[in-house]
Amino acid sequence: MTTSNHQGLRIPRVDFGPLSVAFVWGVNVVAQKFLLRTLSPAALQSVRYGCVSLLLLGAMWWMGRRVGKVLKADFRGLSAAGLLVGVQLLTFIYALNLTTASEAAVIISTAPVWTAVLTAIMGLEILYLRNWLGIVVALGGVSLMILGGAAIPAAHAPARVAGDMTMLVAAFLYALYMVISKRLMNRHGTLAVITLSLCIANLVSLPAGLSEAMAMPWLTLSGLEWLCLAYTILLAGVYGFVTWYRSIKLTSPARTAVYQYLVPVFAVLAAALFLHEKLTGLQFVGIAVTLVGIYLARYRRPESQLIA
């Protein structure tokens, strides 16, 4: 769908829903990094996703979705997916605690690359030369980012390389979750599966972080820290998930997925503005190379479809 200006030029329509979510998710990495200055990783993740899962359940109820019926229909599959995403979320937050927000955002965005690798290995999808080239290019871009950040102060990243490697694991785990939950999403809808997966993920995050959350100095948090916490729960969590998957339903997965490329871009800009993170020239090259690689790895011919 397009609109015309007075000169008769046709301008592509901008989907403001997924565009806003890309911005929100990019800034969310920075908000979480800021909160980690005060909160422990396990405490932050358990509180955040405990609240997000409850609010998403409320949103599903408001939309008239019977999540209990979905859970009963595929309890084993949803349980496996939920436990996996629980481990992935903890891996992500611990990695973010060790590295910079900029590098974390770019590295976690490589999840589609690992999805392509997994679907090829499992025989679910055919990858072409362009896809394999994209995988190599994306990993090369990540390598440039890691090598180019050798001089980053420890205040921003106490164990940067270890954090980057752990974030790669988090990206792989998220890709694995997307692959094994594909049939569930086709059957029950993406938002329902995401919501129930996050509820089950609390079985991992709550035992790991509940005691730490209870010991955190919540009453001493600043107004800005409370604002960041609300942001990660309400905007990045509830608004982000609902709006993103509503956009997929109203348009198409391919059209919505384009906006994912903007998430690390917004994150890098926000990290520079709010956390004063500075990237080297080699890291900027690495980001550009990584995004090009992700684009190539995601490329699909019309006849190439993930087997449901």
CB 16 within 8 A of CB 24: no
Give the position of tokens 């000169």.
7
Please enumerate in sequence order all residues whose Cβ is within 8 A of that of 10, keeping only pairs 6 or more positions apart, or say none.
2, 3, 4
**HSE toward the beta carbon, residue 248, CA cutoff 13 A:** 15
Looking at residue 10, its pLDDT comes to: 47
Confidence check: pLDDT of 7 > 90: no
Confidence check: pLDDT of 242 > 50: yes
Nearest to 137 by CA among 295, 299, 301: 295
Looking at residue 8, its pLDDT comes to: 45
CB 108 within 8 A of CB 92: yes
Rounded Cα distance between 150 and 182, Å, is 38
Looking at residue 13, its pLDDT comes to: 58
For residue 296, give both structure tokens.
Answer: 């190539």
Confidence check: pLDDT of 124 > 60: yes
Band of the pLDDT at 50, cuts 50, 70, 90?
Answer: very high
**HSE toward the beta carbon, residue 104, CA cutoff 13 A:** 32
Q: What is the mean pLDDT of residues 275-296?
A: 88
CA angle 237, 220, 235 (to 5 degrees): 15
Looking at residue 252, its pLDDT comes to: 63
Other C-beta atoms within 10 Å of 90: how many?
22
Nearest to 23 by CA among 239, 186, 301: 239
Q: Which of 20-29, 76-85, 103-112, 241-250 has the lowest mean pLDDT?
A: 241-250
CA angle 23, 27, 32 (to 5 degrees): 150
Instruction: Give the model confidence (pLDDT) of 126-151 as tens digits.
Output: 888 888 899 999 989 898 888 887 65
Confidence check: pLDDT of 305 > 70: no
Higher pLDDT, 304 or 223: 223
Q: What is the mean pLDDT of residues 234-246?
A: 90
CB 123 within 8 A of CB 275: no
DSSP assignment string, 106-157: HHHTTHHHHHHHHHHHTTSSPPPHHHHHHHHHHHHHHHHHHHHTTT--TTT-
Looking at residue 155, its pLDDT comes to: 63
Nearest to 104 by CA among 28, 50, 45: 28
Looking at residue 5, its pLDDT comes to: 47
Rounded Cα distance between 88 and 82, Å, is 10
Mean pLDDT across the chain? 85
Confidence check: pLDDT of 9 > 60: no
Q: What is the mean pLDDT of residues 280-295?
A: 89
DSSP structure class, residue 74: T
Q: Letter for the amino acid at 82?
A: G
Q: What is the mean pLDDT of residues 230-257?
A: 84
Looking at residue 253, its pLDDT comes to: 65
Rounded Cα distance between 64 and 72, Å, is 17
Q: With pLDDT > 90 as the criterion, what percentage of the chain qualifies? A: 44
